[in-house]
Amino acid sequence: MLQLSNNQWSSLYNIFSFGLISMIACTVFTLVSQSRVAAKYRNALVMSSMVTFIAGYHYFRIFNSFNDSSMKGAVTIGTQQGAFNEAYRYVDWILTVPLLLVEVIAVLALAKEASKSLIFRLVPASAAMIILGYPGEISSNNGTKVLWGILSTIPFLYILYVLFVELGKSLERQPAGVAATVGRLRLLLIATWGVYPISYLIPVLVKNPSMSQIANLFTDRQIGYTIADVLAKCVFGLTIYKIARMKSIAEGMKDDH
């Protein structure tokens, strides 16, 4: 059992609650905004809604798992029944991370062959990135954490290459202002994804930590993951909506809302 201070416990309770309501709110917004974009961009908003809905479900489970594993400020960490279940995050990520990448491709409305090529490369790479990170996440051995962290970085670097080199070629054909917004979208994706390895490596940064330091590391990691999730899913989804709206207006849709 990991003993948390009152501030640590309430911080985690509140951040999980914040993550949950953020995902619910973004799901509702992207669903009701379908009519504000042209039909060919609605798939991107549907996928954005799917991302935040899936994440919202898992934050509901994370929130309950945290409550169920807590007793007088002490939290049980592990894989046994009644422990705080970190696997919910990885189940969420293996579903939502590929969808985030497909969102970008869908909103750009590229030629069919170009879209298929990008999807067939990005989706497996994103799944591999998440799968390779999980063994290190649940390991208590720092060497194992670093090993699996390095392995999961390989597909991450490949995704960077595709996003910035291959996808960059399509931006010249986008309407005015859209290319710059997509450029910022890619930077947002990379910046938020960059929080995950930092949070992942937090336990490695302190050698032979005391119990109070372990509690701090656990709290900081969960806060870091949640903030990154909100940015990578909610803010990302709202930017996808902005791009779809801009492209719809550029293609003749009336701005009457």
pLDDT in tens, 68-79: 888 867 888 766
Per-residue pLDDT, 257: 52
Q: Per the structure block, which two tokens stand in for 221?
A: 């990691």
Alpha helices (H) along 36-141 = 42-68, 87-108, 112-138
**Nearest-angstrom CA–CA distance, 148 and 197:** 11
Among residues 76, 75, 123, 74, which one has the least CA distance to residue 96?
Answer: 123
Q: Looking at residue 79, what is its pLDDT?
A: 64
Q: Which phi and psi (to 5°) does residue 84 adopt?
A: -65, 125
Q: Where are the domains of the chain?
A: 2-250
Res 255: pLDDT: 63
Bigger pLDDT: 106 or 189?
A: 106
Name the DSSP letter for residue 3. E
Q: What was the pLDDT predicted at 160?
A: 83
| Of residues 228 and 195, more confidently modeled | 228
Number of H helices, E strands in the chain: 8, 3
> Which residues contact residue 85 at a Cβ distance below 8 angstroms, ignoring those fewer than 6 apart?
61, 62, 65, 69, 79
pLDDT level of residue 256 (50, 70, 90 thresholds): low
For the beta carbon of residue 117, count every other beta carbon within 10 angstroms.
15
- The tokens describing 230, both together, are 């909100």
Tens-place pLDDT, residues 12-46: 999 999 999 999 999 999 999 999 999 988 999 99
Q: Which is it for strands 74-75 and 2-3: parallel, antiparallel or unpaired?
A: antiparallel
**End-to-end CA distance of the chain, in Å?**
53
CATH fold of 2-250 reads: Rhopdopsin 7-helix transmembrane proteins (1.20.1070)
pTM (2 decimals)?
0.88
CB-based contact 245:38 (threshold 8 Å) = no
Contact 122, 101 (CB under 8 A): yes
Q: How many CA atoms lie within 13 A of 45 on its CB side?
A: 23
Residue 1 CA to residue 132 CA, distance in Å, equals 27
